[in-house]
Amino acid sequence: VSVYLSRPDLLRVAIAGLGQLGGDIAKSVVNFPALKLVAAADPRDGARTAFEATYGGRAYPTVKGLCTDPDVDAVFIATPSALHCEHVVMLAEHGKHVVLTKPMALTLEECDQMIEAVERKGVVLVYGTGGMPFRPSYLAMRRIIESGRLGRLRAITHFAFSDWMLRPREPHEVQVDGGLLLNQGPHAVDAIRLLGGGMVRSLRGATVDMDLQGRPCAGFLSAFLEFQDGTPATLLYNGYGYLFGWEFTPWADESSRLAALANSYKFRRQLRGGKTNDSQIKEQSRFGASEAADFRIQRGQGIAQAEGWLPSDDGTIIVHCERGAIRQSATGLWVYDDEGRHDEPLPPEAGASPEANEIQELLRGIAGGPVFRNGRWGKATLEVVLALAQSSDTRQEVLMKHQVPVPVGI
């Protein structure tokens, strides 16, 4: 499986956008011997200076700099969502492979432009950074479904409770980039599509805007999806930060998590009073800022790693089969069958981490192998996410036209 991952400096990579996600990507890619981090692009001076000081590569003020740098083979794109299309097309035109975070773009027309550019130029586009289509637990769940060990898949349930709306946000995130729906919807839909085989037939859904000051977007999503084979799936996301996904896991350390949330509650009171300085607080969590000032750490993200996996933005997924059910446990999967509940470790074939799986897919694609988490997958996920908004507006069921299947034996 990791035939490429262990080959030193196989690929020279860069990062476009050294923000919150871009900083996390930098920290992650340097752990993979197959990758050499050589460059980055960001208009913020401080981010570029910090990048050169930390990683020693070249930092450009624009993505154009990465396009014309002959030492860059592939670029991880972590720029604001409204720029994904422009940046993918520009990099593809210059022969660069790209790894793109969610959402793929803001519209299906943008997805088409991106797919056309990468296919015409013969470069690889891997979609889903940090995302669900590469998560070892979901890949392991999909393998159990395919094996038929629990009988046929009959339904999927997803629910997520997070404080997405209570984190510092730039105005464009909630006004231009699609708010919580386009930022978090793809996580849920990627996971549901991966587990259900990819081919969603229809969706009826509603988005709810609870009128939180400073957050002019829906923070609550609810949908009923049906796959082409008739399998139903439900999706629920409440991002208003009142209740949390980890409350539904018996292994969470409740007291330390509840204590850490005091900062989130304070932030909500400030939002209501119109007294937050979101841009300044978000800046403190971007690449090059001091970790102590990172709001993510102050509100408890990353505490008590010993608890193992806990649902956060990703939510909880339960797969219901004819003769059992599956959900994620702290360290692997809880598999329920006629004998009871079994805590099963993840099989090594499911990969070491989402990042390792994603890089593996990139390297395999460059070597001419199959990439299924590609532009067409990203477009199919965006189609379902946008259908949620459309269905909410029209109060009608929406039928899908651009779905792609999960290959057998992933």
Ligand X SMILES: NC(=O)c1ccc[n+]([C@@H]2O[C@H](COP(=O)([O-])OP(=O)(O)OC[C@H]3O[C@@H](n4cnc5c(N)ncnc54)[C@H](O)[C@@H]3O)[C@@H](O)[C@H]2O)c1
| Residues of the shown chain interacting with ligand X in the complex, contacts defined by CB under 6 A | 16-22, 41-44, 47, 62-63, 78-81, 83, 101-102, 130, 170, 183, 282, 286
Residues 6+ apart with CB under 8 A from 37: 13, 14, 15, 26, 29, 30, 55, 57
Name which of 199 and 303 has its Cβ closer to ligand X: 303
The answer to whether 231 and 208 have CB atoms below 8 angstroms apart is no
- Which among 172, 102, 104 has a CA at the least distance from the CA of 313? 102
Q: How far apart are CA 35 and CA 5, in angstroms?
A: 8
DSSP label at 170? -
Q: Supply the minimum distance, in Å, between the C-beta of residue 226 and ligand X.
A: 27
Name which of 385 and 398 has its Cβ closer to ligand X: 385
Q: Supply the minimum distance, in Å, between the C-beta of residue 197 and ligand X.
A: 25
Name which of 17 and 196 has its Cβ closer to ligand X: 17
Residues 6+ apart with CB under 8 A from 122: none
Name which of 130 and 198 has its Cβ closer to ligand X: 130
Alpha-carbon distances, residue 200 vs 180, 205, 384, 403 (angstroms): 21, 14, 8, 6
Name which of 16 and 124 has its Cβ closer to ligand X: 16
Name which of 101 and 157 has its Cβ closer to ligand X: 101
Q: Supply the minimum distance, in Å, between the C-beta of residue 213 and ligand X.
A: 21
Q: Supply the minimum distance, in Å, between the C-beta of residue 166 and ligand X.
A: 14
Q: Write down the residue that tokens 């099989």 correspond to.
A: 347
Name which of 46 and 347 has its Cβ closer to ligand X: 46
Give the helix, strand, coil percentages of the chain, each rounded to 5: 40, 20, 40
Q: Supply the minimum distance, in Å, between the C-beta of residue 91 and ligand X.
A: 11
Q: Supply the minimum distance, in Å, between the C-beta of residue 320 and ligand X.
A: 28
| Count of CB atoms situated within 10 Å of the CB of 16 | 30
- The CB-nearest residue to ligand X is 19
Q: Supply the minimum distance, in Å, between the C-beta of residue 394 and ligand X.
A: 26
Q: Supply the minimum distance, in Å, between the C-beta of residue 17 and ligand X.
A: 3
Alpha-carbon distances, residue 384 vs 88, 94, 100, 404 (angstroms): 21, 31, 18, 12
DSSP states along 275-289: ---HHHHHHTTSTTS
Name which of 329 and 374 has its Cβ closer to ligand X: 374
Q: Write down the residue that tokens 């046929």 correspond to.
A: 152
| Count of CB atoms situated within 10 Å of the CB of 107 | 15
The answer to whether 102 and 129 have CB atoms below 8 angstroms apart is yes
Q: How far apart are CA 71 and CA 93, in angstroms?
A: 16
For the chain, how big is the Rg over CA atoms in Å? 21
Q: Supply the minimum distance, in Å, between the C-beta of residue 94 and ligand X.
A: 15
User: How many residues are listed for the chain in this entry?
Assistant: 410
Name which of 161 and 336 has its Cβ closer to ligand X: 161
